[in-house]
Amino acid sequence: MAGVPKPIVGLKVEYTKLFINNEYVDSVSGKTFPTIDPSNEQKLADIQEADKEDVEKAVAAAKMAFKRNSAWRRMDTTQRGALLFKLADLMERDRTILATLETMDTGKPFLQAYYEDLEGTIGHCRFFAGLADKINGDTIPLDGSDLFCYTRREPVGIVGAISPWNFPIHLAICKIAPAVAAGCVVILKPAEQTPLTAVYLGHLIKEAGFPAGVVGILPGYGPTAGAALVNHKDVNKITFTGSTEVGQLILQGAATSNLKRVTLELGGKSPNIIFPDADLDYAVRKSHDAVMYNMGQVCCAGSRTYVHEAIYDEFLKKSVELASKKSVGDPFNASNENGPQIDGEQMQKILELIESGKREGAKLLCGGERIGDKGFFIRPTVFADVKNSMRIAKEEIFGPVQSILKFKTLDEVVELANDTHYGLAAAVFTKDINTAISVSNSLEAGTVWVNCYNEFKAQAPFGGYKMSGQGREFGINGLDQFLETKTVFVKL
Ligand code: NAD
């Protein structure tokens, strides 16, 4: 019987270079940057640092791979899907290595990386593999004319994919898999904080049998390598996950370079609304997980918990009990539910926001401080009596901080929930179907969860309203983002 998966103790970082044309190569400048273990602040490896010249090389390789009549362009679409199925199998084979690297680089609990992140990653790869040969155009009936008209769905071309550090391998595959399934070629720039799993992917891509140049991987910094992709005239599309501020820069770059297509998955400040008829213990647990999962470093974290006044005091008491007994520490120790924040900068930002909450009059019920002085650990924090006007209710904290707000009526809470420029996700806890549907319909958010939280499926579209993004990832909608529609008229 298979036991609980175990990390690889003392795993050495083997892959540290750029991946261009199916080969690992040094950067043109030879420069490197360190990647750090956030649980102990030790350096894990020096990674080759891509810059503008390396982007040029990767784009040239991508252009060759995407050339008319290239092996990639002529490849049967079922075969294209088979390569992605093979890549998924290879990630399954190397799942323990990938999960170990992910935990070393991000500090997330190993079992979470192994079960949840890798499950999602491999599942996404298989979902898009299955769509590769199901991309159909239409025939357009033009009765009474001597024209035959049809549409073709064609790959958008060279894709630049820019990803963040909170779910590195999962978000890399969420971009590579649909791009490749659509027949595009893709250059991934992973976040500088967490390059290890993305760089590891390179040799799996080669082993799966992808032709050279179809997938490139360029670890490096945003304002250099990332911006070079965004501003490149031969890159046809950027798919980006990250902060709203950088998303705005990307739209500007896309507009002024070549009007490249852009998909943006950005930040959030998701409301989570608890009505008095909800199952209280269940709602408390789900609301806690909604904001504490992955150390709060989730774009759709339920970071504003709105609780009806009739259950408010009880809800606070139970939330504090949960937060106070949460075990935080070494992410390789299976008894720890949370690890560290990603880096010192994020930790300081979170601590500063906690201070602002205290200053602005929110009631700190537990946590609110760093744990120890090595590693970027923060004690799970609960604030009560938070108001919409406070910074902790307005800004994305991206940390283990639950802000609890009180409400009286349905109309009031809908207004409070929508009072934000974000619109990524929201949740409602109630046993009343009318309340559930009415509130879900009124919330300005790309995803609404009813009596659940953080449910994601490769089949179901995901993305933001308002300043949380543009376009959708996942599902058929996710594939559409990598396709152009060509209309062909044939004179009969
Ligand atoms: P970030 O925007 O700072 O960085 C994201 C990526 O963009 C990194 O790879 C970075 O190197 C790159 N980048 C930075 N500046 C750039 C520039 N000028 N040009 C091109 N690329 C640039 O975000 P982060 O701190 O890594 O991630 C946290 C943010 O990501 C949060 O706001 C979070 O909500 C968001 N996020 C959103 C989703 C979603 O699906 N909506 C998922 C995860 C994270």
Ligand 1 midpoint to CA 166 (Å): 9
Ligand 1 nearest-atom number relative to CA 246: 2
Q: Are 122 and 182 in contact (CB under 8 A)?
A: no
In this model, does residue 221 exceed pLDDT 60?
yes
What residues does each domain of the chain span? 18-266+468-485, 271-450
Q: Ligand 1: which of 49, 194, 243 to mutate, most ligand atoms within 8 Å of CB? A: 243
| Cα–Cα distance for residue pair 390/413, rounded to 1 Å | 16
63: left (phi over 0), alpha (psi -120 to 50) or beta: alpha
pLDDT the model gives residue 146: 97
Give the Å distances, CA to CA, from 253 to 153, 256, 258, 263: 26, 5, 9, 13
pLDDT the model gives residue 229: 98
Q: Are 41 and 75 in contact (CB under 8 A)?
A: no
pLDDT the model gives residue 97: 98
% of the chain with per-residue pLDDT over 70: 100
Classify 18-266+468-485 by CATH class: alpha beta
In short, whether 463's Cβ falls inside 6 Å of ligand 1 is no
Q: Ligand 1: which of 241, 262, 348, 472 to mutate, most ligand atoms within 8 Å of CB? A: 241
For residue range 461-474, list pLDDT tens digits in order.
999 999 999 999 99
Position 236 confidence tier, pLDDT thresholds 50, 70, 90: very high
* DSSP H helices in 293-375: 312-324, 344-359
pLDDT the model gives residue 219: 98
In this model, does residue 128 exceed pLDDT 90?
yes
pLDDT the model gives residue 443: 98
Q: Among 1-15, 228-242, 343-357, 436-450, which stretch is predicted with the lowest mean pLDDT?
A: 1-15
Nearest residue (by CA) to ligand 1, atom 30, is: 242
* DSSP H helices in 360-460: 391-394, 410-418, 433-442
Ligand 1 midpoint to CA 114 (Å): 23
Q: Do domains 18-266+468-485 and 271-450 have the same CATH topology?
A: no
In this model, does residue 1 exceed pLDDT 60?
no
Set 265, 396, 444, 473: catalytic member: 265
In short, whether 322's Cβ falls inside 6 Å of ligand 1 is no
In short, whether 226's Cβ falls inside 6 Å of ligand 1 is yes
Q: Ligand 1: which of 35, 166, 466 to mutate, most ligand atoms within 8 Å of CB? A: 166
Task: Name the architecture of domain 271-450.
Answer: 3-Layer(aba) Sandwich (3.40)
pLDDT the model gives residue 119: 98
Position 159 confidence tier, pLDDT thresholds 50, 70, 90: very high
DSSP for 37-76 reads: ETTTTEEEEEEE-B-HHHHHHHHHHHHHHHSTT-HHHHS-
Q: Which residues contact 204 (CB under 8 A, 6 or more apart)?
A: 87, 90, 91, 94
Beta-bridge partner residues of 217: 19, 188
Radius of gyration in angstroms for the set of CA atoms belonging to the chain, rounded to a whole number: 23
- 119 is a catalytic site residue: no
Ligand 1 midpoint to CA 272 (Å): 24
What sign does the dihedral 171-477-254-488 (CA atoms) show? positive
Q: Are 384 and 316 in contact (CB under 8 A)?
A: yes
| Cα–Cα distance for residue pair 59/235, rounded to 1 Å | 7
Beta-bridge partner residues of 93: none
For residue range 292-338, list pLDDT tens digits in order.
999 999 999 999 999 999 999 999 999 999 999 999 999 999 999 99
